[in-house]
Chains A and B, each alone.
Chain A
Amino acid sequence: MTAELHEELTDPHADPHADQLDHGAASSRPLKSRISEPQPRGAKIRGNRPVDQSEAANRFMAATEHEAMHDARLWDLRQKRDKEMHGIEEWEELRNLASGIKEHTLSKLDYYLELFEKNATANGIKVHWAKDGAEHNAIVLEILRSKGVERLIKSKSMLTEECGFREFMAHNNVEVIETDLGERIQQLDDEAPSHVVVPAVHKLRTDVASVFAKTIGSDPDNADAHYLTECQREATRPLILSAQAGMTGGNFVVAETGTFVVCTNEGNADLSANTPPLHIASIGIEKLIPGLDDLAVFIRLLSRSALGSPITQYTSHFRGPREGGEMHVVLVDNGRSERLGMEKFWPGLKCIRCGACMNTCPVFRRSGGLSYGATYAGPIGLIIDPTFNVHKYRNLPYSSTMNGSCTNVCPVKINIHEQIADWRKTLAGDGEISPVKKVMMKAAGEVLASPVVYRASLPLGRSALRHLPHFMLYNKLNTWGRKRDIPETPKQTFNEWYRKNRKQQGEGEKS
């Protein structure tokens, strides 16, 4: 396949960075991939068995090119976010406001949902209610069938990932075409998005070249980003133009105006919504905000937090169907009402899906989003995924050092690292903890509760550490020693030193 490159891209004398802005993806340093390393795949899903995130993370890190690129790219986003933050004097005030608006709206969610329904209906939007993913999929299918739709173009939506929407449509003979470039790459590779904002960030250009070579016939040896983008543009544009329906998500739903807002950088939501006459928007019920004044707060925070750009390229307001067209909004619960009733975990519903917590998370950057084996990866995933399936995702809250950086970058001030700790407590209390952890902690709790038992346990352990040869220590049972040396044990503990040097001078007191 030969793609027609735009002139400025083929001009050998042109400075490729001449017109680029000093923010957003435009100024990102190209991270060159020299060796072609196979792309590591995500977590192994085995029915309802608990996902082993660390197993998948280890495979991701073994692919050193991928891990290094992933870490560098996401850290770059974090740094850009910091730069934007420092440019806004009232940043922390904005976060407080955003958190307050979300808390207010969630506390009166029934009122705002009905207000939206009333105003949207008056605007000519057809509003549907779905209690779960299955109901959502059935509603959308019915709308599509009533119009004889065979091809649907859609923009990125995490909610439709929750609903297993693409597989459902495939079974029902509706062709779904993703229009976000990253999401399209993931669709063609039959992989879920690995990140809520940059869904193919775990892939190198060489991975994309190989996916496109297999699926749209591009040159497998050409991993130039411009070439690959042009190939995709040429392959997808005819499909977009001939689709009979378009689907988007919705970043914000404004109750007072009965409108909704979609933020993208590629303009693909606008293509999806405006090209065909039928527009369906699938939106989670937690996306409600009261009015347009409130929206302003979120628009200032969203892209700065996500990509470190002041605003997304497109902030599109949808008010109603165009002449002769139809606009549907499907409001989806899918566990949200239940989550709203969870004393410790309801604040997760404030999430605006900016991905800042993923970008800053040192575990996420080393593991890749697909290692979590769930719709939502990274810190926000750790606290949301168990609400969908507590058994399957019971290990995820342990995939964190609880360093707290996620909480600090969250534009709506979700107490993410505290909720991770709360999930661990909840899981252990409900018996959803691995037997190894349980046994170890029970033993530790008993030993540490008794000074006599504790002190008695020490000399043995220490002499073992001191005298056993390396091959005994650095084995499978001792995970500490695989990649780290064990600290040398000194001749005496502090306790022994103190008893010898200080205690005789009085009951633990220096004279």
Chain B
Amino acid sequence: MKVGLFVPCYVDMFHPETGIATLELLERFGLSVEYPVDQTCCGQPMTNTGCEREAAKTEELFVRNFEKYDYVVTPSGSCTNQVRNNMTAIDQTDAVKHVRSRTYELVEFLHDVLKIDAFPWAEFPHRVALHNNCNTLRNLRIASMSERREESFSKPKALLKMVRGIEFADLTRPDECCGFGGTFSVFEEGVSAKMGQDKVTDQLKSGAEYVTSSDSSCMMHQEGCARRMGANLKYIHIAQILNGARA
């Protein structure tokens, strides 16, 4: 199984440790993982803003970078959703279809494809609040959604439960969007920041020491709000916890 690692632009730039943890974690399971160094972005900022035409060349580049792999894995559900469900600015060739159907968010790849049942190296004796990105939750269906009448499940929680010592903090509005929303965070700054502050307040009230998520983008926004608010909360990507990070 040849796996291509996609490290989203903001992870590359601001959170390289998330990319490293993802790579190391996949390698722990004996996979051959490559990171094509000419990658940039999935095209989401343009598509999200409605500028599909402007996304086309970036999408083409993405496919060129990843078409040779059996799976493309990325520590971001939001980018996975873009590739899988919204990469429509370009001709839907066999290569494009292959890449779109084989791109997985890290948690679902571990949970659904590799069906991992233990992380013996992982221990995280802390109180942790879990945040699900909205694309990851409602489009990739990584967990059950509070608005729907369906069986309760959570793939990230199922994985985190295999980590020794971890304790979960419950939020009062677990499914509420944190207000990042990609370009929304810049174009609609006021509402975005207010939603972020409310999310941080909920996390503080839950008694969490750490917040974790399979998406760095939401956490980058939340962490920015938390720091400005002087909130004593730490943000860590799920890949790092599963890879055995010790606080």
Contact = CB atoms under 8 A, between A and B. Distances in A.
A502 B134 CA distance: 33
A76 B13 CA distance: 40
Interface in A421-436: 421, 423-429, 433
A475 B231 CA distance: 23
A442 B51 contact: yes
Interface stretch (A183-191, A244-252, A293-301, A362-370): A362-370
Contacts of A340: none
Contacts of A485: 223-224, 227-228
Interface string B141-154: 00001111110000
A57 B13 CA distance: 32
Given A483-B225, A509-B32, A57 B191 contact: yes
Contacts of B227: 484-485
Q: How large is the interface on B (under 10, 10 to 19, 20 to 34, 35 or more residues)?
A: 35 or more
Contact of A448 (B14, B32, B43): B43
A437 B182 CA distance: 13
A493 B12 contact: yes
B70 interface: no
Contact of B60 (A403, A449, A458): A449
A508 B149 contact: no
B173 A75 contact: yes
Contacts of B32: 509-510
Contact of A92 (B11, B150, B180): B150
Interface stretch (B93-101, B117-125, B192-200): B192-200
B206 interface: no
Contacts of B187: 54, 398, 437, 479
Nearest to A408: B147
A146 interface: no
Contacts of B92: none
Interface stretch (B34-42, B103-111, B156-164): B34-42
A57 B184 contact: no
A509 B187 CA distance: 39
A441 B54 contact: yes
B204 interface: no
Interface in A69-105: 71, 75, 82, 85-86, 88-89, 91-92
A496 B45 CA distance: 23
Contact of B147 (A82, A427, A454, A510): A82
A40 B34 CA distance: 55
Given A448-B58, A483-B193, A485-B224, A404 B35 contact: no
B57 A449 contact: yes
Contact of A449 (B58, B186, B221, B225): B58
A494 B12 contact: yes
B194 to A, nearest CB: 5
Contact of B195 (A366, A446, A489, A496): A366
A257 interface: no
A23 interface: no
Nearest to A57: B191
Contacts of A429: 50, 52-53
Interface in A368-424: 397-405, 407-409, 417, 421, 423-424
Interface residues of A, number: 81
B58 A405 contact: no
A237 interface: no
B112 interface: no
Contacts of A238: none
A403 B49 contact: no
A494 B20 contact: yes
A360 interface: yes
A433 B46 CA distance: 13
Contacts of B58: 445, 448-449
A397 B183 CA distance: 13
B37 A503 contact: yes
Given A451-B39, A482-B193, A509 B34 contact: yes
B125 to A, nearest CB: 26
A486 interface: yes
Nearest to B134: A403
B101 to A, nearest CB: 20
A96 B230 CA distance: 46
B14 A54 contact: no
Contacts of B189: 54, 479-480, 482-483
Q: Which of A441, A454, A502 has the most CB of B within 10 A?
A: A441
Contacts of B233: none
B181 interface: yes
Given A61-B190, A403-B181, A494-B16, A508 B36 contact: yes
Q: Which of B14, B148, B149 has the most CB of A within 10 A?
A: B149
B182 to A, nearest CB: 8
A75 B36 CA distance: 45
Given A428-B50, A509-B34, A401 B179 contact: yes
A488 B188 CA distance: 23
Given A366-B195, A398-B184, A409-B147, A442 B16 contact: no
B195 A362 contact: yes
Given A490-B16, A497-B16, A484 B221 contact: yes
B181 to A, nearest CB: 3
Q: For the complex of A and B, list the 6 residue pairs with the smallest distance between their C-beta atoms, beginning with the closest.
A: A424-B50, A401-B181, A484-B224, A449-B57, A445-B54, A408-B147
Given A429-B53, A437-B49, A497-B20, 4 more contacts: A401-B177, A421-B47, A449-B58, A449-B60
13 contacts: A54-B188, A61-B194, A404-B134, A428-B51, A428-B52, A429-B50, A433-B49, A444-B45, A449-B57, A451-B38, A451-B39, A484-B193, A494-B18
Interface of B: 7, 9, 11-20, 23, 27, 32-41, 43, 45-58, 60-61, 86, 134-135, 137-139, 145-150, 173, 175-177, 179-198, 220-221, 223-225, 227-228
Interface of A: 54, 57-58, 61, 67, 71, 75, 82, 85-86, 88-89, 91-92, 360, 362-363, 366-367, 397-405, 407-409, 417, 421, 423-429, 433, 437-438, 441-442, 444-451, 454, 458, 462, 479-480, 482-490, 492-499, 502-503, 507-510
